[in-house]
Structures are given as C-alpha cells and as structure tokens.
Copies of this chain bind each other. A is one copy, B any other.
Amino acid sequence: MSPSTVRVGVLGVGLMGTDHAERLAARVAGATLAAVADPDHARAHELADRLGVRAHEDPLDLVADDAVDAVVVASPGFVHEEQVLACLAAGKPVLCEKPLTMDDASSLRLVEAEAALGRRLVTVGFMRRFDPEYAQVRSLLAAGDRGRLLVLHNVHRNRSVPNADFRSEMIVRDSLVHEVDSSRFLFDDEIVEVTVLAPAPTSHAAQGVLDPQVALFRMAGGGLVTNEVFVNSQVGYEVRFEAVAERGSLTAGLHSTALLGTSTAGGEGAWGGVVPADYRTRFARAYDLEVQAWVDGIRSGTGAVGASAWDGYAATAVSTAGMASLASGAPVAVTLAERPALYASAADPVAVP
C-alpha cells in the first residue's frame, strides 16, 4: 500500500455508514477502506467480510488501529462526542456525520478540544456544501455581481417518515438542521434568531405531529431566511432554494432531474420529470465529492475541508433554539460562545471541481 493512500475506518455501519464504507472501497481515489466497527458485531463482520477488511468490536480500537489513518463517524449522535474526542486524541482526521453531537454543551466541548489542539481535524458531514449547485451559488454570490444576499427561501420535503416514535422536534433537529447549515454557508454569517411555526398539519402525519413546519432565521448581518420543512409530502425528496440578492436571484434544485419526458400516465398527457425518492439519489454526487475532497485534503496536507466543528456546534445551537421556538411559538435568540481563532468564518470556502 502506497504511503499516499489514506486508510479509512468507518464507525457505525447502518444505512449511512454502509454507504460510506462502500464508497471508500470502490469510488474514492487515493483511499482504501481499512476497517469497520459497529455495536451490532454481526453486521460489522458481515460487511467487513464482504468488502475484505477488518472488523473491530470496540470503536475505540478502530480509532487506535495503526492501519487506520482517518475515521468516518456514522454512528448514532449520542456517541459522537466520545468517538470524535478519541480521533482528536489520536491526531487522526475525522469526518463526523451530522449532528456533531446532541446538545450545545457537548458540541462546544469538541470545538474547544480541537481549538486546544490548534489544528483542524474535524469535518462535519453537511454534504450539501459539496453539491455542485450549492457550491456554485456560494461562489457566484461571493463574486458579487448580484450584490449582497438579502433573502433566502429554502424548501425541504421528504416523501414520508416512519411514524413510530416520531416527534415534531425531530423535524427541526434532523431536517431543518440542513437548512441551518446551508443558510450559514450561503450567507457566510451566523443565525441570531430562529422562529418555528406550524400550520394545521397534513392528515398524512402521525397523530400529534406538526408537519409541515415553517421556520424563519435572522442572520447577524440582517439577512432573512424562510424555510419550509415537510417530511410527509407524499411526493418525494425535494430540496431547493432561491437566494435573492440585490440584483438578481439564484435558484438551485428546482428541477429535481435533468431528464424530461412526456407520458400517458393517468389517462392525461403529462410532461416533466421524476422527483427522487430520497437523499441518496438527490445528493449522491455531493457525498462522493465530499468524501473525495476530505481524502484529497488529508493526502495533500492542506487540512480539513467542508463544515468545521464550529459549524457543527452552531448548527446544534440553532436546532436547540428552534425546538424551543416550536414549543413556544415565539422567536428564540441564538447565542453562541466566542469563536476560537481556529475557525476563520461561519463557513470556510469549499472548492468543488
């Protein structure tokens, strides 16, 4: 194995972790999958056997493994703090799926641990920053031809969610959190106030679940964001936005597919396209580009790319405020700790090929 090949271990091999493991085994240049670990040992061994790698019983053993250069954390959020801290202690780059952790305090502890280390090892898996359209809009806005960004309209719809144990707060914490990060990314600014409102819910949501929700963000610099999150839309996965600047707007994700067709479906002639069923289709390329950029950054020594631990902490803090607003119906201010110098801005630029 060439020294320039990054050997990656994956913690947690549920849906997302398995995706990452298969991606690292087959589609990432300059990387190999080296090991996996999961509390469900049978599942970990099965995947390890299929992909020809080692399975660890204890996640911390994987982090410590000399044959592992870098770690992807795809385990449940409540173990992220311990696993990311282990990576920091071992000096190994870590790509941690969102959320960074489940509450503000633990996210902040990770920020402080990394800041104490003095170099960025943590990337949070807000993959939209690597979606070519998101990246291009940020770059066009930064170029300035359309002036300052004033208003951002986000739409985030899922076909449906499992009803068992689903609570209204999960729409904020698991779905809206993506809007939180992409709003910070596109404005390059912090969110200072969040309001979450709920209209009369769809009859397709579980009893008592407030779906859809409409959220407003106020940015530190005065920008305003409207968000619709609707997780039982019955249609499919629709994620799009319109960024309204002083001289023109930019819209991404409007047409969920580049392929158009006519058909005779339903007796009435129709034209149009398919709405993807879930995020794996919509953001397939974003995930590939994210992991490739993460590996490239490790190999080239240019360091962490994408959303930082600070970004992960800020997203957690806004989510916490959003859940409070959903409960009270009133605007809730977001107050962040002081940002360590390690983190240059709300959203460091990301180059996308």
Contacts and interface: CB of A to CB of B under 8 A. Distances in A.
A269 B242 CA distance: 17
Contacts of A250: 259-261
A271 B269 contact: no
A226 B216 CA distance: 10
Interface residues of A, number: 84
B214 A199 contact: no
A255 B270 CA distance: 10
Contact of A255 (B137, B234, B258): B258
A228 interface: yes
A136 interface: yes
A92 interface: no
A341 interface: no
Copies in the assembly, this chain:
4
Interface string A139-164: 01000001110110101000100000
A261 B272 CA distance: 9
Interface in A237-254: 237-238, 242, 244, 246-254
Interface stretch (A25-33, A56-64, A303-311): A25-33
Contacts of A148: 200, 202-203
Given A1-B2, A263-B146, A271-B272, A246 B26 contact: no
Contacts of A284: 353
Interface in A256-276: 256, 258-266, 268-276
19 contacts: A133-B259, A136-B259, A151-B212, A151-B230, A153-B226, A159-B269, A199-B222, A200-B222, A214-B224, A228-B244, A234-B248, A247-B263, A249-B261, A250-B259, A254-B260, A268-B275, A268-B277, A270-B273, A272-B273
Given A26-B296, A150-B212, A270-B275, 4 more contacts: A150-B202, A204-B246, A216-B216, A226-B228
